Amino acid sequence: MSLFLKCIKGIPVERPPVWFMRQAGRYLPEYKNTRRKAGSFLNLCYNSDLATEVTLQPIEKFGFDAAILFADILLILDGLGVNVQFVEGQGPLLDPIKSKADIQKIKNIEKIHLKLSPVYDTVKKLKSELPAEIPLIGFAGAPWTLATYLINGKGQQGSVTAKKFLVENNEEFEEIINLLTEATIEYLIMQIKAGADVIKIFDSWAGALNADMVRRYSLDPINRIVSRVKSLYPDIPFIVFPRSVNTTYSDFCEIKQFDVLAVDQFLDRKWIAEKLQPKKIIQGNLDPLFLTQRGDILLKELKNVTKDFKNYPYVFNLGHGITPDAKVENVSLVVDYIKGLKF
C-alpha cells in the first residue's frame, strides 16, 4: 500500500505524504503548453488524453505522493445541462437556475454520465499510466459550493447571492441542494468504478455560511454523499474540505465516515493540533502565498507548519489551491523538505 493510502487509513507512516491542490495548473510551463493545444479550458477537461497529460506533469516533475484528476467542480453542472463557460479573465460564467421551472430542466441526473464520460476515460487512462505507488484522487464540489455558482451564475460574491436565496426561497433551495447531492453521488460512483482510489469533496464557499447553515447545507449534504458512496465502496477514503468554516471544523471532525479533514490556512494551527488532530487525520495548511516568496521565507514557514503538526500523522498540503504566480523551484523545495522529514 502506498504511503499516502497508509496515512489516510490511519496506518503508521515514516513521514507525511505530500500533494498540492491544483498541482496541475497555470504555474507550470508544461501545463500552459498543453492548455494551448486544447484551445479552451473545457476542451482540456473533456479531452482525456490531454487531461491525463496535465495530471501526470506534476507527478513526473516533482514526485508528489498522490495525483488528483484534472477536471473542474463545475463539470457536473455542465453535465446536468447548465450552460457553463470559462471566460479568460472572468472565470466561470453560467446561466443561473433559480425557479422551479429552471430546476425541472436539469433534473435528469442520468444524463450527466453521457456528457462526463471523457472524465471517466481520463480516470481509466491515469490508472494505467500512473506508477503503482501513486494513488489517484477523484473529486467533486460540494452541493453548497455548486449551488452558489448555479444560483448566481458566477463565482466571486456568488455565495452571498446564494445565501439570500437560501433564506428567501428555501423550498427551491432545498430542491437544488437535494438535486446536486444526488448528482454528486452518481458522479463519484462512476469515478470510483473507473479506478479512483480516494475521493475529495471541495466546499470552497462554505465559509460564507453561518454555523447553523454550515451544519445543514455543507456538512449534512456531504455526509449524505459520503455515506451513500461508502455503502457501496466502504474502503474508499474520503477527504472533506469545508474551507473557512472556522470552529465548525469540529463538527466535521466528529463524522466517522470522513477519513481526512482538509484545513485552510486561516485556522490557528495550535487549535487544529489540539482539537482536530487527536480525532482525525488532517490535511493542510500551508498558505499558498509562501510559494511566491523567497526560499528562506518559505522554509521558515514550512518548519512552523511541520512543527505544529508533528505529534500526529497528517497529509502535507496547502490551505487552498496553488496560485498561478507560485515559483516552480519553491514547489520542489517543499516536496524535498517533506520527503526529508521523519515522524
DSSP states along 142-200: -HHHHHHHHHHSBSTTHHHHHHHHHHHTHHHHHHHHHHHHHHHHHHHHHHHHHT-SEEE
pLDDT digits (tens, 9 = 90+) for 294-324: 999 999 999 999 999 999 999 999 999 999 9
Question: Torsion angle of alpha carbons 76, 7, 135, 114, nearest 10°?
Answer: -20
pLDDT over 90 (residue 158): no
pLDDT of residue 157: 64
Contacts of residue 21, defined as CB under 8 A and 6 or more positions apart, other chains included, come to 68, 317, 318, 320, 321, 322
Rounded Cα–Cα distance for residues 341 and 95 (Å): 48
Q: Which three cell numbers stand for residue 322?
A: 496553488
Average pLDDT, rounded, for the chain:
96
C-alpha span between 22 and 1 (Å, rounded): 24
90 pLDDT tier (thresholds 50, 70, 90): confident
Each domain of the chain, given as residue ranges in start order, spans 3-339
pLDDT (tens digit per residue) in 56-81 = 999 999 999 999 999 999 999 999 99
Question: Are residues 152 and 162 in contact, defined by beta-carbon separation less than 8 angstroms?
Answer: yes
Q: What's the sign of the alpha-carbon dihedral 33, 329, 137, 199?
A: negative
**Fold assignment, 3-339:** TIM Barrel (3.20.20)
- Are the C-beta atoms of 90 and 60 separated by less than 8 Å? no
